[in-house]
Amino acid sequence: MSRRRVTLADVARTAAVSSTTASLVLSGRGDELRISQAVQDRVRAAAAELGYRPNAVSIGLRKGTTRTLGLVSDTVATSPMAGDMIKGAIEAARDHGYMLFIGETEGDPATESALIEAMQDRQVDGIALTSMFTRTRTVPAALELTPTVLLNTLADGPTRAPAVIPDELEAGRGAARLLLEHGHREVHLVGAGPLPEHMPPDTVAGVERLAGMREVLAAEGLAPASGRVCDAWVPAHGFAAMQELLAAPGPPPRAVVCFNDYLAFGVYQALGEAGLRVPDDVSVVSFDSYPIAEWVRPGLTTFEIPHEQLGRRAVELLLHEIRTPRGDQPTGPGPVHRIPMPLRVRGSVARA
């Protein structure tokens, strides 16, 4: 048999006061309205004895806030790689006295619409629309009714919602700078490039990483020495691309940038089978900093996606949207906030 929820009327009856008096005491207004200390103590003791908890929904309806947030994702919640994004969002919400509800769509538009409607029906104060991989997407029109932030995704059309993404552009610059600082003048790419149009579809990260590298190389009068487009950034494709690069005419490469760590794992294997050592023969730089990057030998030098910081920043921006009246918010497209990707230096880069 389920236990009936204790109500304010139960507390008032036990304390022998009116419901109004009990409500005023428990909302912290007893002193303001000169309710005697004895009565206040009696009300609080009755609430403690009965295990009374205020009805958060009722309070929210009165105050215009439920102190709840929604996070709608494609596959973030069940991804071991991006779990820290959820962790950061949950911790930031808790720090500000909010509860975060999480829903996952598996990329299905109908499920996404149903989740957004369900959260709006429950009167969440704001929603973070989230993607596992940085990409562009359409922002549902229904979110115009609710304060919204885009987490790890960009809008493909006009929207007032701010976005939070990793600073892939600066990470690309950093990868090129690192190799130049170690004396490498010929930089080969695995995953995309060498030209901007040499890019697998739907990868904001790839576009920005390549743009950053090309910018820094161009400032030195250089361009990528070669590029291998991989339709999927997985070890098998990295292995095949590296084998192709090693079979090309001319001296073997001395410096390679992989567009993610999975490709780099394949590159490591291809180099090993060819009798080449990282970094003595070939320096390798990558992006993402998956956990296994610490365990390969030598450890992979890579730019880390700051998942936890992304989640935290998204919630902070969402709370700002919630607290700022619509009339006081800037007009035009929402700003894009870029979170730095720290370089994790391990053992895969050496001097030329």
pLDDT confidence tier of residue 2, bands split at 50, 70 and 90: very low
In the chain the beta strands, taken as DSSP E runs, fall at 68-73, 99-104, 126-137, 148-155, 163-166, 188-191, 226-229, 255-258, 283-288, 301-304, 336-339, 343-344
Longest dimension (CA), the chain: 93
More confident residue, 54 or 241: 241
Q: State which CATH number among 3.30.420.130, 3.40.50.2300, 3.40.50.300, 3.40.50.720 fits the domain covering 168-305.
A: 3.40.50.2300
pLDDT for residue 240 is more than 80: yes
Q: Bridge-partner residues for 22, per DSSP?
A: none
User: How far is residue 116's CA from residue 119's CA, in Å, rounded to a whole number?
Assistant: 5
Bridge pairing between strands 283-288 and 301-304: parallel
pLDDT for residue 250 is more than 50: yes
pLDDT for residue 76 is more than 60: yes
CA neighbor of 99 nearest in space, from 340, 319, 291, 300: 319
User: How far is residue 49's CA from residue 9's CA, in Å, rounded to a whole number?
Assistant: 14
The pLDDT value given to residue 247: 95
Q: What average pLDDT does the segment 170-182 reach?
A: 98
Whether the CB-CB separation of 206 and 199 falls below 8 Å is answered with yes
Whether the CB-CB separation of 147 and 167 falls below 8 Å is answered with no
Burial of 30 (0-12, 13-18, 19+ CB in 10 A): buried
pLDDT for residue 140 is more than 60: yes
Amino acid at the residue 157? G
Q: Bridge-partner residues for 124, per DSSP?
A: none
Phi, psi of 265 (to 5 degrees): -60, -40
What CATH number does the domain located at 8-54 have? 1.10.260
Kindly state the tokens that stand for 94.
């808790």
Give the chain's mean pLDDT.
91
pLDDT confidence tier of residue 26, bands split at 50, 70 and 90: confident
Domain range annotation of the chain: 8-54, 66-166+307-338, 168-305
> How far is the first Cα of the chain from the last one, in angstroms, to the nearest whole number?
74
The pLDDT value given to residue 80: 66
pTM of the model: 0.82
User: How far is residue 333's CA from residue 81's CA, in Å, rounded to a whole number?
Assistant: 30
Whether the CB-CB separation of 141 and 316 falls below 8 Å is answered with no
Superfamily of domain 66-166+307-338: Response regulator (3.40.50.2300)
Task: Write out pLDDT tens, residues 314-336.
Answer: 999 999 999 887 666 666 688 99
Same fold flag, 66-166+307-338 and 168-305: yes
Task: Write out pLDDT tens, residues 195-220.
Answer: 999 999 889 999 999 999 999 999 99
Q: What average pLDDT does the segment 99-108 reach?
A: 91
The pLDDT value given to residue 197: 96
- Neighbouring residues of 32: CB distance < 8 A, sequence distance ≥ 6: none
**CB atoms closer than 10 angstroms to residue 106:** 10
Q: Which range scores top for mean pLDDT: 80-89, 132-141, 208-217?
A: 208-217
User: How far is residue 63's CA from residue 281's CA, in Å, rounded to a whole number?
Assistant: 66
Measure Cα distances from 308 to 36, 85, 181, 283 in Å. 48, 5, 30, 29
Q: What average pLDDT does the segment 24-42 reach?
A: 88
User: How far is residue 352's CA from residue 348's CA, in Å, rounded to a whole number?
Assistant: 12
Task: Write out pLDDT tens, residues 270-311.
Answer: 999 999 999 999 999 999 998 889 999 999 999 999 999 999
pLDDT for residue 63 is more than 70: no
